[in-house]
Amino acid sequence: MALWARQVSRWRCLLQTARAAGFPRRLRSCSSTAQACRGFAPLALLPSRNDILPWRLQAYRHVCVGSCSPPDSAKDGSFSSPESNLSSPVKQEQAKAEIVHDLNAKILYEDWDDIPPSSALEEISEEEAIQIIAEPLLPLQSSTLRDYVDHSETLAKLVHLGVDLSQVEKRQKAGQLLLTLDFEKDIRKILLFLKDVGVEDNQLGPFLTKNPYILAEDLEALETRVAYLKSKKFGKAEIAQMVSRAPYLLLFSVERLDNRLGFFKNELGLSVKKTKDLVIRLPRLLTGKLEPVKENLQVCQIELGFQRNEIQQIVFKTPKILTASKKRLKQTFDYLHNIMGIPHHMLTRFPQVFNSKLLRIRERHMFLTFLGRAQYDPAQPSYISLDQLVSLPDEVFCTEIAKASIQDFEKFLKTL
């Protein structure tokens, strides 16, 4: 009986404390008190609103009875009801506890009505609706990365770095790639690697604009390719120049890079040093297609009539001839050789003439012919080299080579 009296007393104190502290509004603040009472159900397991009124102290007594061991006097496995063992004062206290509980249940019932429902279908006032700020939705599909910049920290930082997203999205699957990358996790390490290779800070943006695919490459693989170039005696400055001018270079595996270097060395018959110098000056030879290179070599040898050793000299001095348009190459050669009368050995000495526009060559040659100064034989007086013919600005060409004024040259061009 003493045990039950103490339990009932604790229960009454608990209810009084909860009511004084605003129990219905502060469910969490009473959790420590609830845990202190042995046999008291956790707050998360309180009965629902529909069951709160019928809930009485008897439920608490039943729980406690089930958790208590039977008295020693019950030899036959049964024992009398706890209510029959309670004294009259204790029963009065129990009745008071039930009344207190009923009052608190009503308060709890009323206060729960004050709590706003969490349903998304709840009606709200116009004032509350105006205060709601809706974030713009992320488009599920878009043809431009511009729609994602405000939602992607990665894209925002790339733009700040100088990456032109309008150019990136033109490259196959490059836009999807950038949207899957995390700047800190995936991109920062590649940027640090490129800086270590020698790419300048102001070139990182243009570099990634041309080659965003490097961001998906394994860092260890990139370092292996740089180590291979160093093993071939390419200096740090030379590697930086090659990587900057040919952004796709580091996407090539060591095997492909080795095959490309071997191709130019064997196909052109160049030494190792000259092969290195060739690709340093035009590193896209290592990344471009080999078919146009093979075709231009055949054109030079079969259609233009250059010897193998002449082709070596032409290519070494002017690597761009390997990637030039075949049609343009043949038209330029035809005018230089068949109209101006420049022999093969002179063209071999000044192969840079093939990089000049045919219109420029024709206009200046015709002006010199008009003045009687079109002399391209070094054994003759008033000799004019092909380099001077195509490389000098118009003013210098007129005054030093044609011995005429720029106005005379402009008037002549109008007659053509």
Q: Is 145 exposed, middle or buried (0-12, 13-18, 19+ CB in 10 A)?
A: buried
How many Cα atoms within 13 Å fall on the side-chain side of residue 92? 3
Q: How much of the chain exceeds pLDDT 70, in percent?
A: 66
Query: Mean pLDDT, to the nearest integer, of 132-139?
Result: 53
Average pLDDT, the chain: 77
Residue 12 confidence (pLDDT) = 54
At a CB cut-off of 8 Å and minimum separation 6, what does 39 contact? 7, 60, 63, 64, 67
In this predicted structure, the answer to whether residue 347 has a pLDDT above a threshold of 50 is yes
Q: How far is CA 30 from CA 26, 44, 110, 112, 298, in A?
A: 7, 12, 19, 16, 92
**pLDDT digits over 244-292, tens only?**
999 999 999 999 999 999 999 999 999 999 999 999 999 999 999 999 9
**Quick one: average pLDDT of 374-382?**
91
Counting residues of the chain whose pLDDT is more than 90, the rounded percentage is 57
pLDDT value at 208 more than 80: yes
Name the residue with higher pLDDT: 7 or 368. 368
Q: If you average pLDDT over residues 199-206, what whole number do you get?
A: 93
Supply the pLDDT for residue 360.
Answer: 96
More confidently predicted of 85 and 146:
146
- Is the Cβ–Cβ distance between 354 and 332 less than 8 Å? yes
In this structure, of 173-182, 192-201, 227-236, the range with the lowest mean pLDDT score is 173-182
pLDDT at 296 over 70: yes
Q: Burial letters for 76-86: b for 16+ Cβ neighbours within 10 Å, e otherwise?
A: eeebeebeeeb
Quick one: pLDDT band at residue 77, thresholds 50, 70, 90?
A: very low
Q: Range with the lowest mean pLDDT among 31-35, 170-174, 331-335? A: 31-35
Going by pLDDT thresholds of 50, 70 and 90, the confidence category of residue 297 is very high
Nearest Cα residue to 101 out of 35, 29, 3, 23:
23
**CA angle (347 as vertex; 346, 350 as ends), nearest 5:** 90
